[in-house]
Chain A
Amino acid sequence: MISKEQVTHVADLARLEFDEAQLNNFTTQLDKIVDFVDQLNEVDTTGIEPTTHVTSAVNVFRDDVPQKGEGRAALLKNVPEERDGLIRVPAIIDKEED
């Protein structure tokens, strides 16, 4: 069983928040989904290596050569709040924050 406390904890890890109604809804749904994925416990995976990717590539490197980027003006076009060519954000150091 997934508890509301667990859901709240995971939501915090994922930087999401839910109101009470959403929390109840997500807890019920996630409980069902976790219950569904728990059927993997029927499979004996003793000694089986996990597969995290399916290519045979190991580490793919490129030469460390400087390349031209898109440019500051282009990159700033999508910034939600901008001032003087900089990205504007709320105070980062805030005594009330953890």
Chain B
Amino acid sequence: MVDYFNEDITSLHDKLVRKEISVRQLVEATYDYIDKTEGKVNAFITLNKEAALKQADALDEKGVDPDNLLSGIPLGIKDNIVTKGLKTTAASHILDNFMPVYNATVMDKLDALDTITVGKTNMDEFAMGGSTETSYFGKTHNPWNLDKVPGGSSGGSAAAVAAGEVIAALGTDTGGSIRQPAAFNGIFGIKPTYGRVSRWGLMAFGSSLDQIGVMSRTIKDSALVLNAISGHDEHDGTSAAADVPDFTAALNQDIKGLKIAVPKEYMDEGVDDDVVSAIKAAIATFEKLGATVEEVTLPYTKYAVPAYYIIASSEASSNLQRYDGIRYGFRAKDVNSLKSVYVRSRSEGFGDEVKRRIMLGSFSLSAGYYDAYFKKAAQVRTLVKRDFDQLFEKYDLVLGPTAPTSAFGLGEKITDPVTMYLNDILTIPANLAGIPAASVPAGFSKDGLPIGVQLMAKALDEATIFKAADAFERHTDFHNQVPAFKGGQN
């Protein structure tokens, strides 16, 4: 009855307004389909079926507002965004029974527009990882090839959208956690400017880097959801006071004269041939549409990864101090002193990747090492940011691959942290600089795995990203491809 591969939010809205389907039927169809696919994909940690159906009935009673495109639209929400009365775990054992008593600001905004929370999506534990393999709740499989990772950390949100389980989902991005899984799953994903969307109610990882964003099959759907969640929030002192434009106004525009920079470091060795070919083809499409594309250099790109891992881990080691087994979350059994409550609860409650980051962060901030590690990384961050500032004086967009490879195999990189970290090399710079960046479907590898092209703009200029991405989408067909669900016999 409803097939998300043949719909977008606007078409679903029309069906609801015309009463071709009721909200209850839409929600039921969503869960029926999820029942069929979750055994293969495992995109969700928690489903919200009972409450969702109740909400659907209430909406059917009240009637879908013809002026509110999001009314009655089912969405997936990453499980590090707190949802009042709906279990929120950050995919960690330490929070596996955590029931939020308040809503994140983004959830209040979506609730006010009557969207329906289908469930909470799987992710790397505390959003630390690039494959969703560090989740306490099992691995998520890439719908294009079930033996491959969905990327991470928003791998559950990406796989749920790509598998047709939901039309759109919220993700979060600290070093590429929206864009890389979007690329690996052949969908669109945008990390807005740092400060564009309130982080009140987002479980903090790297506070100077974290940002909530949107993932969807079409660019318009992400524009609609981003419209809904953006804006200043007095609960988040880092949220931007700037006006929020209507991002859908950037769609269906001409991009003649748009100035695009392609850093040569982004096309360098270490990037797969398939990825380079897809990006070159994307560049040719942009040129055909009237954009001018020039090669530039971002010499500090290589240092963005080590700088990021020090900064993000230092902030994480501080943010994760709150998980102490006292007021909420997992508490170790049979402990007889306060210190051992802390030590045992944390040691039993956190997974290995989280511990590695806490250790690296605590080391970088510790007496005698602060200047050589944390301060040095923060200085390199200045240089990375300065490079972007200079580029945006001359160019509207920076373009490159989203990730150096297409989706890698489950289990392939999880044992080697440094190799896993290097997969983030092309997404991390935007977080360090605080600028908006998106991944747009741009082709497939020889073995049929999706590839994404990344577009970055200056701070608060998401509109230019939407404008260019939409023009690209209108002239390509990659976003209409449907995943094969192949493999998975293990």
Bound-state CA distance A33–B338 (Å) is 32
Q: Are A30 and B360 in contact (CB under 8 A)?
A: yes
Bound-state CA distance A13–B324 (Å) is 13
Q: Is A20 an interface residue (CB 8 A)?
A: no
Please indicate the chain B residues that have their CB under 8 angstroms from the CB of A13 in the complex. 362, 366
Question: Which of B48-56, B98-106, B162-170, B260-268 sits within the interface?
Answer: B98-106
Q: Are B433 and A89 in contact (CB under 8 A)?
A: no
Would you list which residues of chain A between 1 and 28 have a CB under 8 Å from chain B? 2, 6-7, 10-11, 13-18, 26
Q: Are A50 and B381 in contact (CB under 8 A)?
A: yes
Bound-state CA distance A32–B97 (Å) is 35
Q: Are B417 and A33 in contact (CB under 8 A)?
A: yes
Interface size range of chain A in the complex: 35 or more
Q: Are B339 and A87 in contact (CB under 8 A)?
A: no
| CB 8 Å contact bits of B429-452 with A (1 = contact, 0 = none) | 000111000000000000000000
Q: Are A77 and B99 in contact (CB under 8 A)?
A: yes
| CB 8 Å contact bits of B324-349 with A (1 = contact, 0 = none) | 11111111000111111111101100
Main secondary structure of the interface of A (DSSP, over half): loop
Q: Is B379 an interface residue (CB 8 A)?
A: yes
Q: Are A90 and B317 in contact (CB under 8 A)?
A: no
Please indicate the chain A residues that have their CB under 8 angstroms from the CB of B418 in the complex. 32-33, 36
Q: Are A16 and B346 in contact (CB under 8 A)?
A: yes
Q: Are A30 and B356 in contact (CB under 8 A)?
A: yes
Query: Interface centre among A33, A77, A81, by most B CB within 10 Å?
Result: A33
Q: Are A52 and B101 in contact (CB under 8 A)?
A: no
Please indicate the chain A residues that have their CB under 8 angstroms from the CB of B68 in the complex. none
Closest to B195 in A: A55
Q: Interface residues of B, CB < 8 Å — how many? A: 68
Q: Are B101 and A70 in contact (CB under 8 A)?
A: yes
Bound-state CA distance A36–B420 (Å) is 12
Shortest CB-to-CB span from A67 to chain B, Å, is 11
Bound-state CA distance A57–B234 (Å) is 13
Bound-state CA distance A40–B305 (Å) is 10
Q: Are A62 and B234 in contact (CB under 8 A)?
A: yes
Among A16, A51, A62, A80, the residue within 8 A (CB) of B359 is A16
Closest to B383 in A: A48
Shortest CB-to-CB span from A33 to chain B, Å, is 6
Would you list which residues of chain A between 40 and 98 have a CB under 8 Å from chain B? 40-43, 45, 48-55, 57, 60, 62, 70, 74-75, 77-81, 87, 89-92, 94, 96-97
Query: Interface centre among A14, A16, A34, by most B CB within 10 Å?
Result: A14
Please indicate the chain B residues that have their CB under 8 angstroms from the CB of A17 in the complex. 343-344, 347
Shortest CB-to-CB span from A95 to chain B, Å, is 10
List 30 contacting pairs A-B, 8 Å CB cutoff, sorted by A. A14-B359, A14-B362, A30-B363, A33-B309, A34-B360, A36-B418, A37-B306, A38-B306, A40-B306, A40-B376, A40-B377, A45-B376, A48-B379, A48-B382, A50-B379, A51-B382, A51-B432, A52-B208, A54-B194, A55-B240, A60-B238, A79-B328, A80-B330, A89-B338, A90-B335, A90-B336, A90-B338, A90-B340, A91-B338, A94-B338
Chain B positions near chain A (C-beta within 8 angstroms): 97-99, 101-102, 194-195, 208, 234, 237-238, 240, 300, 302-303, 306-307, 309-310, 317, 321, 324-331, 335-344, 346-347, 350, 355-356, 358-360, 362-363, 366, 373, 375-383, 385, 417-418, 421, 432-434, 459
Chain A positions near chain B (C-beta within 8 angstroms): 2, 6-7, 10-11, 13-18, 26, 29-30, 32-34, 36-43, 45, 48-55, 57, 60, 62, 70, 74-75, 77-81, 87, 89-92, 94, 96-97
Q: A40-B306, A43-B303, A49-B382 are in contact. List 8 more A-B contacts (CB 8 A).
A: A26-B359, A30-B360, A37-B310, A40-B380, A54-B459, A79-B328, A81-B331, A96-B337
